[in-house]
Structure 1
Amino acid sequence: MGADMMLIVYLVIALAIMLGLVVFFKLNVAISLVIASLFMGIVSGLGLTGTLGGISDGFGNMMRDLGIPIGLGVILGKLISDSGGAYSIANAIVSKTSEKLALYSIGLAAFVLAIPVFFDVAFIILIPLAIQIGKQLNKPLPYPVGAIIIGAAIAHTLVPPTPNPLAASSILNFDLGIMILVGTIVGGIATVVTIRIYFFILERGFWKKETDEDATMENPYGNMEVPANPPSAWLAIIPIILPSIMILLGSVGSVFYEENPEVISFLSNRIIALLLGTIAAYFVAAKTMNKTQRDNTASEAMQATGIVLLITGAGGAFGNIIRSTGIDQAILDIFVSDAQSTLSVILLAFFMGVLFRTITGSGTVAGITTMTIMAGVTAGVDIHPVWVAMASLSGGLMLGHVNDSGFWITTKIAGLTVKGGMKTYTVSEAIAGFVVLIITIIGAHIF
């Protein structure tokens, strides 16, 4: 067996170890990634100290690039949520559309809200409003629930500053502004298309109320507490769009300057952009929250960030070990033919993402692990790395089920049975993954 194939075998074993520890021994994903990194480095010939050095360097480099931005992004989102600003944005989006498009607007509202906040927070904020709209339109439960899941899942997966898309530019080494631009455009299109496809399936008798809704649950939608006189939608959206505008400033500047002036490079840096966005969120939240409440919100956000940072850093460690072994070239030589290199790379990234999401239940693990494996491959083919990121992340959208916390949050809050959860959460995200994949394939061949 050749050296390239042996590296592939080692990688498969390392991934099996990581997945086995998560699935069968219920070990934390971050710990499992470190163990898999140790195995991969040692058997691939990096040596004991070399492997440890590679793990430390990979973790440190990932935290250097993403630690502060992820933390700031989570604080920003929670301030907007707790102050009632997120609810104002959702109401504004829905109220500006006709009755015919109301369910699409709730999906787009979920897309906008899930850019700064996590998926589950966006779902909890929107579900009472969505259920009420569904009743007014005389539409069954899966219509509003599915629309929220689709919009929130796509934005959380594709648009920074949530961890996966934020990590993409660092892992695959391209401009974060491009990730924001492509993620927003592709995500917005995919949201509308996926909702239309999902509604088409529902219109064909896919939903069975008797078996898919849990009639025993009382008030499953909870009580959304919105502060009195929350910030207006226009005010609340400023902290969301400000970081994106600043980061895109650097991308636009590179068009006009051979090298961006120092002030543009400074202002467009992800740390500065998200710092200013977070400061803006503090001012916006001041309309309904005092200083102590805002500080408590920031502290709660940082507690929630800890596990995300640990998984992200461990993924960086695993990726660094993989790159050190030279396996990226082995993958390129074995799996990617010269004649179909672009399509092969995209499909390989997509199906790896599907595998990791299905087994681990974590879109973060799926996206970061896949992108780290694919990082070196992009250098060997004529494809912009943003499309490799989109393929990896679209795979990570696929097939969330009972081992995914998001599945249980949406199922229980919406008052569904497990079967109903599969028909909403699993099916809608699977459609979304395929839609994003198709757009990615088209985009990779055009741009």
Structure 2
Amino acid sequence: MESIRYDRLQETLYHEKLDNGLEIYVLPKEGFQKTYATFATRYGSVDNHFQVEGQEEVKVPDGIAHFLEHKMFEEPDGVDVFSKFSAKGASANAFTSFDQTVYLFSATEQIEDNLDTLLNYVQNPYFTKENVDKEKGIIGQEIQMYNDNPDWRVYYGLIEAMYQKHPVRIDIAGTIESISEITKDTLYSCYNTFYHPSNMMLFVVGGVNPEQVIDQVRRNQASKNYAPQGQIHRYFEEEPTAVGEKWKEIKLPVSQPKFLMGFKETATGLTGEALQRKNLVTKLMLDLLLGNSTALYQQLYDEDLISDDFGYDYTGTSEYAYSMIGGDTRDPKLLVQRLQEEIGKAVETGFSQEAFDRSLRKRIGNYLRLLNSPESIAHEFTRNRFKDSDFFAILPIYESLTLEDVNQRLRDHMNWEQLAVSVVVSP
């Protein structure tokens, strides 16, 4: 077991990599009553074309990572996993994103029992033709529910408008047609590939003893047999530089139009600190441009073009990246026009040093506050670690950023040729 000390944050992270490849991280938080644990695999909705070193290339139906997450909660003894956690005073859940699947629990008692439950059910798949067919109906209803959700449709509409080839454009749950092709054999194939301990990570944070946690996990894993597995190669079609659609309009009953616009970026190949730095400087730039304390935000609000739900975000990986800007608006086309005008002015003039310093302090403050939330720590650390970066190393990166870094990022990212817009309007 190694300890990694972050003196400025006054945190010590404990780490061990087991013989089967599983990485364990434990962050003790003295005085915290709650313990939060995540058991995550680097496997998400975009991983539908892959090859394990030494094996055949495989293509699987869209939505299978999400489908697999659902099926992991069913056990051979018929007892629901949620009830097992509940009986031990824990709350459990799971989620699938583009690039990871995470199983988790939160508890203030019986931590050892709950940790064994987490490890054991995720490492004990149970798929039959009958329970797979039954799940298709359940997930089909979920897909239909999201198809009728205006917020989800405007969000995915923008991704679909931006990307032409990359599987990020496909709904995480897949389609009713794609999940109909899923069988227990394809589930086992994906499970055996991506749920191998060498592709997974356990993170535990809270009032725990690191040595005890890691020793418990060692014993748990020693009782299970995993043959070594080669590297997983993921394949993606080459994504065109241009967006697929400039303007995508979806009709659903809404009281006011829903609007999102975004700037598409294609594969950068960046990983580790370089990718982390790009993500941080982009989010800082968006905060300087569109944060709720900016002049632009106030102008648009005074013009009744935006409301309190107006916001922005940036997603950046080595394979794809994009910003999202928007919310409800009375006039989507006018809002695009106004944003183009004002962003164009900002690109010409750049941000001031005073505004940069203020926004940077705000971002650093938000980061430091996250360190008081076990949930935020676990999810942010896992997300960063799967991208070969360190969540606890963010502070020095922030402090190294300059005004010119942000102004350059503004000029680079706000490329109107890469703009796509998604709106949901009433029929």
TM-score range with shorter-chain normalisation?
under 0.3
More helix, by proportion: 1
Structure showing the higher strand proportion among its residues: 2
Q: Under a length normalisation based on structure 2, what TM-score does the superposition of the two structures give?
A: 0.25
Normalised to the residue count of structure 1, the TM-score between the two structures is: 0.24
